[in-house]
Structure 1
Amino acid sequence: MVDELRQVLTGRLVTPDDPDWDEVRRGWNRSVDSHPLAVVEAADATDVEQTVAYAAAHGLKVAAQAVGHGTTPALDGTIVVRTGALDELTVDVPERVVRLGAGVTWGAVQTALDGTGLTGLPGSTGNISAVGFCTSGGFSWFARPFGSGAASLRAVELVDGTGVRRWVDDTLDADLMWALRGGGGNFGVVTSAEVELHPAPAITGGRLMFPIGQSEAVLTAYGRATRDAAEHVTLWAYLMHYPDSPALPEDMRGQSYCMVDAMTPYQPEALEGVLATIRVAGTPVSDVVGPLQPSGVGEMNSVPAPPQALSLITSTFDELTPELIGTLLEYGREPSLLFQVQLRHLRASRDAGRPGVASADPSAQYMVLAVSIVPRPELQESAETALRSLKEALVPWSVGDMPPTGLSAWGSLRDCVSEPDLARLREIKRRVDPLGTLTGNFPLL
């Protein structure tokens, strides 16, 4: 059905007839058994134009993926465009902006920023596409001082639903930019973007690791520390159960810890002040905090991130009470199908920066993110049941909505976007994609 498309592409068209189809069709998250119609490994922006124009002419749908993150069941039956080869990267230090292709990861951006005194907004791993991160909201180590990734998106080059490639910024199409800042791939296939950079003259970060048996005291101290922390200080806490995997360092295999990660782009003395509160809550088995280059930020977790089967849930809350800590420990202290229960301290100032559907800071002070890594497919259902049970147990403390970046693969934009904003998104989509050719990871229904 799509063989004609092959003739006009510089890159590769992969279909079920190809021997490596089962590997190519699947995204990073192997818990989603994706079944697209075909996959286009675009060599350049022209390949993206040709693919969207072909799909529009033949009543097909197109979904964009950069490096495979974010796959959901919504990609079934679509032509998936992989934009990983669009890897141009230019840093303008005086203007504090990076111009990058859709396939550029945060790890590549951060490496290019070493020695500049600037940072982007990388999240928990450096192998995420910077463009996908920003168009999905994106909360990073530096969200507290600098806001979401969506708010740092200055302009994009995209292919709209008619197959036309164009440059968009707030002057040319403010409504479309508002939708792109958090609305994902529903409005165009982004081929390149301009993203704002931020001052980071003294990045300092690191990790405290405690025996899992000290979790209650450490999480209580973490709650006090986050209440006192300056806005430029970020603290994340974890209940972590490492699998007995040869991919991990030997001293981490099969071990469980309560951990606190800390980061600041400037004034490291403020970081030391809040960490002192946490250090005295237990006996750290590891305490490594020090200066970092931008390239070191995305590697804070120091855990390999190969494709794997993963499920998650998120929730929000405003205060880390003893009762909430007790609930988290009930579900997350002992090794189980829950690999990690993570707490992130968020900025909740409601300072939107550049306008966007996911640009504003969340109304909640904290986020819970619980993750299950499923070693065998037959455990998938049990893992999801455990996650849903935890999410239900967190309902008494839940406040506010999450941005799209916090959705599970089986979530919906209704979980994170208000009905008035959804109505505005649909109106913008009808204008830029009148045939409904484009599908995001979380479609507009």
Structure 2
Amino acid sequence: MDMPTVAIVGRPNVGKSTLFNRLVGKKLALVDDRPGVTRDRREGDVAFGGLHFRVIDTAGLEESDAATLMGRMRMQTEAAILAADVVLFVIDARAGVLPADQPFAELVRRAGCPVILIANKAEGGTGLAGAYEAFTLGLGDPIPFSAEHGEGLGELHEALKGVLPKSDPDDDDEDEDAPGGRSLKVAIVGRPNAGKSTLINRMLGEDRLLVGPEAGITRDSISLDWEWRGRKIKLHDTAGMRRRARIDDKLEKLAVSDGLRAVRFAEVVVVLLDATIPFEKQDLTIIDLVESEGRAVVIGLNKWDLVADQPGLLKQLREDCTRLLPQVRGVAVVPLSGLAGEGLDKLMQAVVQASEVWDKRISTSRINDWLSEATSRNPPPAVSGRRIKIRYATQVKSRPPHFALFGNQLNALPKSYTRYLVNGLREAFELPGTPIRLSLRTSQNPFDKG
């Protein structure tokens, strides 16, 4: 069977070629800040987390006379759209939706093939407002993305997996209907020498990974297939993560960036701590990184057999976790020993449960019933004599749960109140330990006096 085709389209200079290079894994496309650098269709083969397809980088869509160079570039792009199985429609999230985006969104819609809307240049949340504007294009939910930094790759992979025709009949790893269903992607991360490879060897029941007392033996991210209680698991062992300032070796820098990539592709990330020296600053930084990437988190306290004789220690460490990591309040903290093979079943139960919470969808009516009660119990404050009013809330996506609030003056809502709302959502809808995203959408109507 021929490989399916994915076309990248959008206005000039929205980052199409950077996305192309990111997918192909090589700098095949010329990238520059000047618009219009790509003039022809450029093609490359992509192997992307079990998906195989051909990607086409196209010239920027512009309204031009067919006889001009710009017009011929546009015709090439239209031809690519018609030939594609899937279209990635890219906008610049920082610039938001521009009038020029609308006619091309209509062109893509008329082509009749699945469209994935990518709000590029949204790194660090800077372009989220533009990403939500993209809803107005009528092309479905936008994926906040950064082709430059690789943010949003996991979400893009999920979206492509849902719409791409299957290219390799032998690859049943991602087959939803296969026995055991789709593989759950789990990354094991932590500081160097936390015992990640020893734990995975114990899970697999064989010495599959090189281990030893020296820190930093694992140099790259290794993917392994496993099964737990009939559930297919894809395990990613990663190199130990340490602060950049401590990394001098170029190979280790590459290994750490590979570990970050494994986090972005994972659905659940097990952050392995050394129970004899838990919650070091570097541990907290790694958990913070996993949360900022929007992945489900489970904390494993490895080498527990060395401290199990200390009464009350587990209770104390769970209290420390709540205090030090409020952004993942309620996260599962599981004592285990990779060397002795203790606690692995409880760890995997926590992993599966975390993935279910991460994937949870809540109906809009339930959210608004909760919102009405939450705002009655603790009303938003007033700004310049005018009370902030939250009118409506909905869940815009899962993986992780992401909610949007609509109302007036929400940009003036204090951080303490948004924290109150996030904690309320976590408690009311049983969302322990998972990252929760909250977007505030203020009414644009100047006559809306609340």
Higher relative contact order (CA 8 A, sep 6+): 1
| TM-score tier (shorter) | under 0.3
Say which structure is richer in helix: 2
Q: With structure 2 as the length reference, what TM-score do the two structures score?
A: 0.25
Give the greater-gyration-radius structure (CA): 2
